[in-house]
Amino acid sequence: MLLPSLKPTHALAALLALAACRPDQIKHLPGTKQIAEETANWEVKHITPNDLLHATRWAGDSLTAYADTLLRRTLARELAKGGLANAANFCRPQTYPATDSMARKWHLRPRRVEWRPAGSGATAAITAAGLQPDTVRLIGRPAADTFYYQRPIVLRNSLCLRCHGQPGRDLTAAEAQLLQAQHPQLQAVGRQRGQVLGAWQLTLERDGVAEFYTLKTRKKWKEHKMPKLF
């Protein structure tokens, strides 16, 4: 029995259908993962006041940990060059370009303040009660669109002892005199491990906090890679 022949148009349609079923012939649109993530980020998401406080803690911890790591690497680099006085000039991680870039991305303003005894008259003074080593962080919302983060800076690293430690033990008497001459405002000297040197204080805007919370809860947030400093 002879099978009926297919018309040319029917045969062409059949060939196209077969070709479409071959996996190796399928072409995926480029950037589909990025498009999906961007679409998800534009979805309306209900964020509670407690969520924003959690995001303030996450953002503050992320930036201060990142800046502290940069500080340790920078001090190690400068001390390796043999100059304690020069290394002390780099003890301002809040001003590093990488820290500033991260701060601007999340709409926050970081600063580091030195602990001074109560009654010293310093405008940046912080009472000891608010900076005990067991106080991990302080989170607040002083205004509707403003959040606040504070974390104590505790002397735990041997690099910090090179400037803040005991003269004659962690640094020479000559180095201590040189630091005092170059940085007369420095009060956190003669310290030991475990003592509080000061605090990180961050002021955050609501938009940046909300964006950080959205990315964090969607598991899109990735830790920042440390830039090469050497």
For residue range 191-210, what is the model confidence (pLDDT) as tens digits?
888 888 888 999 999 999 99
Count of CB atoms situated within 10 Å of the CB of 156: 14
Model pTM?
Answer: 0.69
Over residues 108-116, the mean pLDDT reads 86
Look at strands 146-154 and 138-143 and give their pairing: antiparallel
pLDDT of res. 107: 93
Count of CB atoms situated within 10 Å of the CB of 141: 16
- Give me the residues paired with residue 152 across strands: 199
Query: Which helix (H) or strand (E) segment is 56 a member of?
Result: helix 49-80
Hey, what are 34's tokens? 């990025």
Count of CB atoms situated within 10 Å of the CB of 179: 20
pLDDT of res. 31: 65
What is the phi-psi region of residue 190: left when phi exceeds 0, alpha when psi lies from -120 to 50, beta otherwise?
Answer: left
**CA nearest 133: which of 116, 113, 155?**
155
pLDDT category at 131 given cuts 50, 70, 90 is: very low
CA 44 to chain CA mean position, Å: 26
Q: Which residue has the higher pLDDT, 35 or 16?
A: 35
Burial of 173 (0-12, 13-18, 19+ CB in 10 A): exposed
Burial of 160 (0-12, 13-18, 19+ CB in 10 A): buried
Rounded to whole angstroms, the Cα distance separating 108 from 148 reads 9
Rounded to whole angstroms, the Cα distance separating 170 from 155 reads 13
